[in-house]
Structure 1
Amino acid sequence: MTDRTTPTLASIAARVGVSVNTVSRALRAPNTVRPELRQKIRAAMDELNYVPNRLAGGLSGTRSDVVGVIVTSLHHSEFASLVDTLQAELLAQDLQVMLANTRYDPDEEVRLVRAVLSWRPAAIAIVGIDHPPKAVELLKAAGVPVVEMWDVDGPVIDTAVGIDHRAIGRAQGQHLVERGYRRLAFLGSLRDNDSRAHKRLAGVEEATSAAGLGHVVRRTEPLPGNPDLGERLLGELIERQSDVDAVVCNSDVIAYGVLRGLRRLGRDVPGDVGVIGFGDSEASSCLTPALTTVRPDREAIGRLAAAAILSRIDGGGPEIRRADWRLMTRETTARQSRIPLAMAAAIPADPLGKG
């Protein structure tokens, strides 16, 4: 991939009206430069999308053999098998992985994008297609292949590999409606910048709307997902909306807490309340009752992302690659259907949602 013209220390110095040495000191030893001047230099770096070059001087005009991989979370190993597969595929081609975790923090994402780019990576793989504007600017200006992972529903920077989260939400909602559940709730960790969870919620709402049901009740907080959060949110939900008979959880670990909470409340699953998760974590099929959930093909996303990276490095064009996912129907939604087949048939099925 051909490099674009990139800003230098000299262009930063010219913008601020100081020497190159002053800009260099601001980067290497910021305490030796006045705070007001440091702020001006940093503003100029942002305006010009400047990224420091951390490679040795003799290699300053080359790319490294590093592929930067930026994920949004390492919590409960959501992306572990994806990254593991991606790394294995890249290592086979003598490319090393540099892993970074944004923790769903947009400011941290910008810092990490700048930091990874400073190592002049051969490519960057990053989770999601919705990023802070400054991160997008930096990635577009870097002149390296960018492969966005885990989502393909919307505009992309360069190349994307992932799944359609809105279609997954529709499949979750349709599944519950077909089994006679009428009063659906969406529960769990929902951050403003977690567009994938928002798309799944929108898909659930599309399914209930198509079935002529009421609105989907929401009980969410912008916190890392864990069973304790799931149980607490379930308790708050039931206290305010006791007639809810199905809960769509934004992750399996949230669903674990929901199931624990329903058991403590004496609610039968799936008779009184159905529960469906997302992720198909290893424990989900081992629970009693076993959790109905959606299994994204993480390994396939890792393989496809690696193939896309290698293709772009070799001069191939941008592309969108879709991975498969499966609705794993288990005991937590095993209630027999209580709605007419005509109503269930009115909800369009997604061809990728294989049960």
Structure 2
Amino acid sequence: MTISTKARDGDDDRSASERKDRPAPTLASIADRVGVSVNTVSRALRAPNTVRVELRKRINVAMEELNYVPNRLAGGLSGTRTDIVGVVVTSLYYSEFASIIDTLQSSLLEHDLQVMLANTRYNPDQEMKLVRSILSWRPAAVAIIGIDHPPKVVELLKSSGIPIIEMWDTSGPVIDTAIGFDHQAVGAAQARHLIDRGYRKLAFVGSLRENDRRARKRLFGLETEAVKAGIAPVVTCTEPIGGSPDLGEKLALDLLQTHPGIDAIVCNSDVVAFGVMRGLRKLGKRVPEDIGVMAFGDNEAAACITPPLTTIRPDRERIGRLTADAIVARINGGEPQTTIVDWKLVARQSTQRDTVEPTDAG
């Protein structure tokens, strides 16, 4: 497995000690902004019903503007950091990130660090609330899935003064440290794989929620590579809901009703592909002879279905271990870095039109 690592340059690249020098907003700064006493601000946080509604709104606006996060630690602990590492994922559906979390937690326990897990469900408002809540516990670091976050979340994480490790994606600007891979490159590789095997009319099928930027990057890579190859534009058939086999079957039926000439389908996840293949069987379509099917994730069942599914295998365990290593290094004063982890295109029978035995392709 090849891993390339590069140090990041720029104004946001600060050592741990430099980040701690940045002044954090306090109750006093909120009080100054609103023009009230510190005690009034404190009451608005501890007993909001004792402060009139209009004033509470002004205090909340000031907290938002100054990126103030309440401190849940009591008294003498208020200036300390805990042994908690906040871990924010976008989904726990079909355990997409389970291996990352499991490996990350096991590795952090070796350093007496505990995981506090939060699931945003791809909801930007939920992401904002969960990040703010985690930061209120004064964690030692935060690890979060993806590099595309609401602007206010980015502001909060940047102003926290702690190491922030973004996982799973490296294709764009990052807050601090990132460990993952380029999703657009994955989409391009999926297109090349299908084109090399004689498929010419490609479709992208599956769950495509508004805030799932990584799936959109893979789609963009697929579309761009199709244009380069001079084949028909990629047809998309998606819904903004969680992926499942039932969704895959429904979308496959819808797709071929409106675009009967499609000869290859790229699914945003393996579980969607399972349903797509079920739908194709109902339509009497042969996989891979009539339609090739390809996906992303390498679910444990991908090699067990008939025909076995061609898919992309991210190295989840390695991302988890490297994230834990990066957290410990940053806590100890190490510099921010972006680490790119390889993924594998696993070529199986679902895209193999000839009689060659399926193989794993890196």
Provide TM-score, normalisation by structure 2: 0.92
Looking at structure 2, the residues matched to 54 and 278 of structure 1 have their Cα atoms a distance apart, in angstroms, of 40
1:129 to 124, 143, 147: 147
Say whether 1:249 aligns with 2:270: no
Aligned counterpart, 2:6: none
Aligned counterpart, 1:60: 78
Looking at structure 2, the residues matched to 80 and 29 of structure 1 have their Cα atoms a distance apart, in angstroms, of 38
Looking at structure 2, the residues matched to 334 and 26 of structure 1 have their Cα atoms a distance apart, in angstroms, of 64
Give, as a single letter, the amino acid of the residue that structure 2 aligns with 1:30.
P
Aligned counterpart, 1:308: 326
> Which piece of structure 1 moves more, 10-19 or 299-308?
10-19
Aligned counterpart, 1:274: 292
Looking at structure 2, the residues matched to 148 and 52 of structure 1 have their Cα atoms a distance apart, in angstroms, of 23
Looking at structure 1, the residues matched to 163 and 361 of structure 2 have their Cα atoms a distance apart, in angstroms, of 32
Aligned counterpart, 1:192: 210
1:289 to 307, 311, 332: 307
1:327 to 345, 352, 355: 345
Is 1:124–1:144's contact at 8 Å kept on the other side of the alignment?
A: yes
Is 1:64–1:120's contact at 8 Å kept on the other side of the alignment?
A: yes
Is 2:347–2:361's contact at 8 Å kept on the other side of the alignment?
A: no
Aligned counterpart, 2:40: 22
Aligned counterpart, 1:166: 184
| Cα deviations by residue, 1:163-182 (Å, 9 ceiling, x for unpaired) | 11111111111111111111
Provide TM-score, normalisation by structure 1: 0.93
Looking at structure 2, the residues matched to 229 and 45 of structure 1 have their Cα atoms a distance apart, in angstroms, of 42
Looking at structure 2, the residues matched to 266 and 18 of structure 1 have their Cα atoms a distance apart, in angstroms, of 72
Looking at structure 2, the residues matched to 302 and 236 of structure 1 have their Cα atoms a distance apart, in angstroms, of 38
Listed as ranges, the gaps of 5+ residues in structure 1 are 338-352
| Cα deviations by residue, 1:207-230 (Å, 9 ceiling, x for unpaired) | 212211010000111111111111
Is 1:180–1:336's contact at 8 Å kept on the other side of the alignment?
A: no
Aligned counterpart, 1:37: 55
Deviation at 1:354?
4.4
How much identity, in percent, do the aligned residues show?
A: 65
Looking at structure 1, the residues matched to 87 and 222 of structure 2 have their Cα atoms a distance apart, in angstroms, of 30
Looking at structure 1, the residues matched to 62 and 179 of structure 2 have their Cα atoms a distance apart, in angstroms, of 34
> Secondary structure at the residue paired with 1:267?
coil
Looking at structure 2, the residues matched to 46 and 202 of structure 1 have their Cα atoms a distance apart, in angstroms, of 34
Give, as a single letter, the amino acid of the residue that structure 2 aligns with 1:125.
A
Aligned counterpart, 1:345: none
> Secondary structure at the residue paired with 1:291?
coil
Looking at structure 2, the residues matched to 252 and 26 of structure 1 have their Cα atoms a distance apart, in angstroms, of 48
Looking at structure 2, the residues matched to 252 and 42 of structure 1 have their Cα atoms a distance apart, in angstroms, of 43
Looking at structure 1, the residues matched to 53 and 287 of structure 2 have their Cα atoms a distance apart, in angstroms, of 60
What is the aligned length? 340
Of structures 1 and 2, the one with the larger relative CO (CA 8 A, separation 6+) is 2
Looking at structure 1, the residues matched to 47 and 302 of structure 2 have their Cα atoms a distance apart, in angstroms, of 50
> Secondary structure at the residue paired with 2:238?
strand
| Cα deviations by residue, 1:144-189 (Å, 9 ceiling, x for unpaired) | 0000000001100000000111111111111111111110000111
Give, as a single letter, the amino acid of the residue that structure 2 aligns with 1:143.
G
Say whether 1:153 aligns with 2:162: no
| Structure 1: 4+ residue segments shifted above 6 A | none
Give, as a single letter, the amino acid of the residue that structure 1 aligns with 2:114.
Q
Looking at structure 2, the residues matched to 98 and 254 of structure 1 have their Cα atoms a distance apart, in angstroms, of 29
Is 1:325–1:354's contact at 8 Å kept on the other side of the alignment?
A: no
Aligned counterpart, 1:348: none
Listed as ranges, the gaps of 5+ residues in structure 2 are 1-15
